[in-house]
Chain A
Amino acid sequence: MVPSRAPSRAAACYDGRVKDATRIARSALLLAALALLLPGCAPKLPIDEGTLVIALPGSPTSIDPRLATDAYGEQVLQMTHAFLIKRDAAGNPLPDLAESWEERSPTEIAFRLRSGAHFHGGREVTSADVRYTFEWILDPKNRSPHRATVEKILKIEAPDPHTVVFYLKEPFAPFLVGMARGIVPAGSGARGYTPVPGAGPYKVDDFQPDEAITLSRFGAYYGRSPAIAKVIVKFIPDSNVRFLELKKGSVNFVLNGVDPDLLPAALKNPNLVMEEEAGSNVSYLGFNLRDRILSDARVRRAIALAIDREAIVRTIWKGHADPADSILPPGFWAHAGGLPPLPHDPAEANRLLDLAGYRDPDGNGPKPRFTLTYKTSQNELRRRIAAVLQEQLRQVGIAVEIQSHEWGTFFSDIRKGNFQLYSLTWVGIADPDIYHYAFHSSQVPPEGANRGRYANPELDRLVEAGRRELSRSKRKEIYRKVQLLLLRDLPVLPLWVNRNILLRDRRLAGFTLTPDEDYTSVKEMRIAGQGRDAAGKRAP
């Protein structure tokens, strides 16, 4: 019997259903593809709609001026909050909400507030708000990270709505630095990610952590109202993606957010321009002075002479950095000019190492004089720098073992003194009192940031005098001696100061690039070809 080749009725019916299903699936796939393609047709760029889109490498953990500590939070606050005073690039105090101030005595400072400044909620800013802001920071139960910067305040008085008087426990020269803080309305609590109103040129419309913050122009700003009505700050952690967003035009302003390697490619885009100015973030190499080898100043000097900082600036930073001679950036009011240079001199480094008793066991052979460990974070650029330093020190017979840790572990090791060499960057130095905090013998962690355990009575005396002395010229002389002393002892080796690099859309203008990456002048920006509208005039 020959089996029938004709399909059964049930099978034929099923086969038909399968064909139908296949057809439906094909049509659905086609429709889905079309649906994806259609909205992608040449979307309008934000700048065409008058929106400034800034990319920051990270999301702020807080946008409350009493709590924010990271650079991203500070940069957002520079757009949203009015500060009691501000600082210029050289560290000099400038008026903001306080139009003037007067030192009535070394422990009594009175600020005169401008009239006509309003919070985003509409209420006028008064001395009660200033008093409340600083008293909130001083209150231990609020756990403000800024408490230490204002701890010399004894009491605050607000005799009238436009005068606020600070009384200090003792004369304290860096006091004004702590006054560069955003002011919040009296009675404001700290509510996680919920923004606290400020009196700055922009108000916060929406804040989505790890995504973006949307700002809009504040019409009642006391100064000239911003020309750009809407600013979006996107938090984009990946450097390549920031570059691609710029290239596409979906981001039109990136300050220090594109790797030096990508800058030539970015500049091939005719819509982008680059601005470059001196920076203020100083990278340095830290030594552990309690280490048997590194406690010898000759060894530290030999390491300093073996490192070719010019070569690192040229190769890793592509020229977008300047060699540093102090942890104070050049241009800062207390930076000492004419400090003795530390040239690249391997021959002298070899001589100093021989003198210190660390002779090279096999001349130019593979055996090192000694081995040091170098700790760094997991940042890719930092690891490349570590590899270059390793090679440069190998040239003088010093073997370096690189240990790269995640940030929490790395920082914990540095604080505990569990290191020989490490590298970090000082960011946002506002006063030379940093020398007290970083090098005074009493400031070994957990008390301060003397991580290398440096102890020198002469330096202790100088930095103590520096924080008591109120005359700017006398302080400058004190800190000149401090810088000379540190270049002699080398508890840290200043490496370089990164330049600030702004990549922006060609049509944007009006931003002033400052060494301290200040975003205050965003309010001065305008988009070429877009007229200033009514709201862009001075508020009544």
Chain B
Amino acid sequence: MRTYLLSRLAQLFPVVFGVVTIVFLLLHLIPGDPVEIMLGENAVAAQKEELRRELKLDRPVAAQYVEFLGGLATGDLGVSFRSREPVLREILSRFPATLLLAAASLLVAVLIAVPLGILSAMRQHSLLDHLSAFLAMLGLSMPNFWLGPLLILIFSIQLELFPVAGFGTARHLVLPALTMGTGMAAILMRMLRSSLLEEIRQEYVRVAAAKGLSRRATVLRHALKNSAIPVLTVLGLQFGALLSGSIITETIFSWPGIGRLMVQAIDARDYPLVQGCVLFIALCTVTVNLATDLLYSRLDPRIRYG
């Protein structure tokens, strides 16, 4: 296990290195000048050149890249061009909001998907199964830019249960988490249903039933655990994606997450901040994937690492 963990951690370096290199090059390839955006059109050319020199943007891209890697090696992500705040502080100030929303969305998805997935597998072709299939289709086909305002209309304006937008209390979290969790729940629900149906048809389930175990106990005790691996895979991938922020949901609910921060940084051509955000997101994704892989062995003792 320890060897496996170390080898996976070692693999992390080329992945992160690849990601930051590609982003660095792409950022310097796309049109747009951070100096023009920072100083505005008012500034004269000499002032712009002065700032370009100060920010070391006048140097060849290769030299800038080496400097960036040097900073990275010492844990220095630089200072945001836009806000003049250290990049790490900017990211860490937004990460709690992103993590909170990601975790709450995941919880919503699990709370919806697991009971419905189990019930529709246990009662295949029943009215409930058809209804959950319909709900899954609805959940998948509703884009967040539509579902978000719809939830606000119903739960904030009509029922006055939750705030329209903002960040701060648990009540602020409910609608954005529902918006993001619903689509995810639909995928998880269908995945769990099909995986569970496959398990229910296995010999050991029939043996358990023959031994007199109730259907509910058979499914919950034996089949569910064995059908969880593909579900966990999807869950891990989606959680990783959630940690990179969602620009649409964050915009609708005025949620101060990493997604909005990164889009603003791209608009302002704030190179250090974009690079820092991408690095951070890549690290989160790789970590979540690693955690998911490690969980496999907890669910299925046949899976061993090392």
CB distance from B258 to the nearest CB of A (A): 11
Given A36-B161, A244-B156, CB of A437 within 8 Å of CB of B33 = no
Say whether A277 faces chain B, with CB atoms less than 8 Å apart: no
Do residues B47 and A147 form an inter-chain contact, with CB atoms below 8 A?
yes
Closest to B51 in A: A143
Q: Which residues on B sit within 8 Å (CB–CB) of A413?
A: 31
In the assembled complex, A470 has its CB within 8 A of some CB on chain B: no
Q: Point out the residues of chain B lying under 8 angstroms from A447, CB to CB.
A: 44-45
Is B213 among interface residues, defined by CB-CB distance under 8 A?
A: yes
Distance from B36 Cβ to chain A, minimum over Cβ atoms (Å): 6
Interface residue ranges of A146-194 to B (CB < 8 Å): 146-149, 151, 190-193
Name which residue of chain A comes closest to B174, CB basis: A36
* Residue from the list A5, A141, A235, A445 in contact with B212, Cβ < 8 A: A5
Distance in angstroms from B66 CB to nearest chain A CB is 24
**Chain B residue, CB-CB nearest to A58:** B264
| Contact residues in B for A191 (Cβ distance below 8 Å) | 84
Q: Is the CB of B32 within 8 A of A11?
A: no
A40 contacts B214, C-beta separation under 8 Å: no
- Contact: A412 with B157, CB < 8 Å? no
The residues in B between 255 and 290 inclusive whose CB is less than 8 angstroms from any CB of A are: 256, 260-261, 266-269
A40 touches B256 (CB 8 A): no
Flag whether A534 is at the interface (Cβ < 8 A). Answer: no
Across the interface, do B211 and A148 meet the contact criterion of CB distance under 8 Å? Answer: no
For A39, the closest partner residue in chain B by CB is B171
When chains A and B are docked, how far (Å) is the Cα of A416 from the Cα of B31?
A: 10
Stretch at the interface among A106-114, A205-213, A325-333: A205-213
Collect the chain B residues with CB atoms within 8 Å of residue A409's CB: 30-32
Q: Does A42 belong to the interface (CB within 8 Å)?
A: yes
Closest partner residue, chain B, to A409 (CB atom)? B31
CB neighbours (8 Å) of A39 from chain B are: 171
Q: Please state if B149 and A209 are interface contacts (CB–CB under 8 Å).
A: no
Among B54, B157, B256, max chain A CB count under 10 A is at B256
Interface pair B211/A210, CB less than 8 Å apart: no
Q: Is A448 an interface residue (CB 8 A)?
A: yes
Size of interface on B: residues with Cβ below 8 Å to A: 63
Cβ of A15 and Cβ of B214 under 8 Å apart? yes
Q: Contact: B212 with A7, CB < 8 Å?
A: yes
Contact between B38 and A145 (Cβ–Cβ < 8 Å)? Answer: yes
Cβ 8 A contact of A244, one of B42, B153, B211: B153
The residue that B45 contacts in the complex, of A42, A43, A244, A446, with Cβ under 8 A, is: A446
Residue in B32, B89, B210 whose beta carbon sits within 8 Å of that of A411 in the complex: B32
A241 proximal to B (CB < 8 A) = yes
Given that A211-B167, A408-B30, A447-B45 are known contacts, is A7 also in contact with B214, CB under 8 Å in the complex? yes
Q: Tell me the complex Cα distance, A148–B159, Å.
A: 53
Q: Which residue of A lies closest to B33 (CB)?
A: A412
Residue of A with least CB distance to B85? A192
Q: Which stretch of B184-192, B196-204, B229-237, B246-254 is in the interface?
A: B246-254
User: Is the pair B256, A11 in contact by a Cβ cutoff of 8 Å?
Assistant: no
Are A140 and B47 closer than 8 Å at their CB atoms? yes
The reply to whether B32 and A408 contact each other, CB–CB distance below 8 Å, is: yes
Are the C-beta atoms of A14 and B267 separated by less than 8 Å?
Answer: no
Cβ of B166 under 8 Å from chain A: yes
Residue of B51, B157, B212, B254 near A236 (CB, 8 A) is: B254
Query: What's the Cα separation between A18 and B93 when bound, in Å?
Result: 43
- Chain A binder among B12-20, B129-137, B215-223, B291-299: B215-223
By a CB distance below 8 angstroms, the chain B residues around A15 are 213-214, 216-217
Is the C-beta of A250 less than 8 angstroms from some C-beta in chain B?
yes
Q: Which residues of A contact B42 (CB under 8 A)?
A: 145-146, 148-149, 437
Chain A residues lying within 8 Å of B161, measured Cβ to Cβ, are 36-37, 40
Q: Given the complex, which residues of A lie within 8 Å of B25, measured CB to CB?
A: none
Contacts A148-B42, A411-B37, A437-B42 hold; do A6 and B32 have CB atoms under 8 A apart?
no
Of chain B, the residue at the smallest CB distance from A69 is B40
Q: B residues within 8 A CB of A411?
A: 32, 36-37
Determine the residue in chain A with the shortest Cβ distance to B30: A409
- Tell me which residues across on chain B come within 8 A of A209, comparing CB atoms: 83, 93, 256
Establish whether residues A40 and B166, one from each chain, have CB atoms under 8 Å apart when the complex forms.
no
List the B side residues contacting A244 at CB < 8 Å: 149, 152-153, 156-157, 164
Quick one: which of A5-58 are within 8 Å of B by CB?
5-8, 11, 14-15, 18, 36-37, 39-40, 42-43
> A146 to B44, alpha carbons, bound, how many Å?
11
Asked if B50 lies at the interface with its beta carbon under 8 angstroms from chain A, I say: yes
Is A362 part of the binding interface, using a Cβ–Cβ cutoff of 8 Å? no
Docked Cα-Cα span, A449 to B36, in Å, equals: 11
Do residues A8 and B267 form an inter-chain contact, with CB atoms below 8 A? no
Query: Is A407 part of the binding interface, using a Cβ–Cβ cutoff of 8 Å?
Result: yes
B103: interface (CB < 8 Å): no
Contact call B156/A211, Cβ cutoff below 8 A: no
Provide the A222-266 mask, 1 if CB < 8 A to any CB of B, else 0.
Answer: 000000000000111110110011011010000000000000000
Inter-subunit contact A192/B84 (CB<8 Å): yes
A408-B31 in contact (CB<8A)? yes
Asked if A406 is at the interface of the complex by the 8 Å CB criterion, the answer is yes
Bound Cα distance from A67 to B153, whole angstroms: 39
Q: Mark B152-182, 1 if CB is under 8 A from A, else 0.
A: 1100110111111111100100100000000
* A448 vs B40: C-alpha distance when bound (angstroms): 10
Q: Tell me which residues across on chain A come within 8 A of B253, comparing CB atoms.
A: 241
CB distance from B264 to the nearest CB of A (A): 8
- Given A250-B163, A415-B36, A446-B48, does the pair A148, B212 have CB atoms closer than 8 Å? no
Residue from the list A8, A62, A408 in contact with B83, Cβ < 8 A:
A62
Asked, given contacts A18-B217, A193-B83, A447-B44, whether A248 binds B33 with beta carbons under 8 Å apart, the answer is no
Decide if B166 touches A408 in the complex (CB within 8 Å).
no
Q: When chains A and B are docked, how far (Å) is the Cα of A140 from the Cα of B279?
A: 32
| Least Cβ–Cβ distance between A63 and chain B, in angstroms | 11
Enumerate chain B residues within 8 angstroms of A11, measured Cβ to Cβ: 211-214, 217
Return B67 CB to nearest CB of chain A, in Å.
Answer: 19
Judge whether B32 and A412 touch: CB under 8 Å: yes
Smallest beta-carbon distance A168→chain B, Å: 17
**Pairwise interchain contact B256-A241, C-beta atoms closer than 8 A:** no
Alpha-carbon distance A209/B84, docked complex (angstroms) = 13
Complex CA distance for A245 and B159, rounded to whole angstroms:
14
CB of A208 within 8 A of CB of B164, answer: no
Of B41, B82, B166, B171, the contact of A449 (CB 8 Å cutoff)? B41
Cβ-based interface call for B22 (8 A): no
A-B contact pairs, 16 of them (CB 8 A): A3-B210, A11-B213, A11-B217, A14-B217, A61-B83, A62-B83, A140-B47, A143-B54, A148-B43, A192-B83, A192-B89, A209-B93, A238-B251, A241-B152, A245-B165, A447-B45
Given contacts A151-B44, A241-B152, A446-B48, 12 further A-B contacts (CB under 8 A): A11-B211, A62-B83, A143-B51, A145-B42, A148-B47, A208-B256, A211-B166, A241-B254, A412-B36, A415-B33, A415-B41, A416-B31
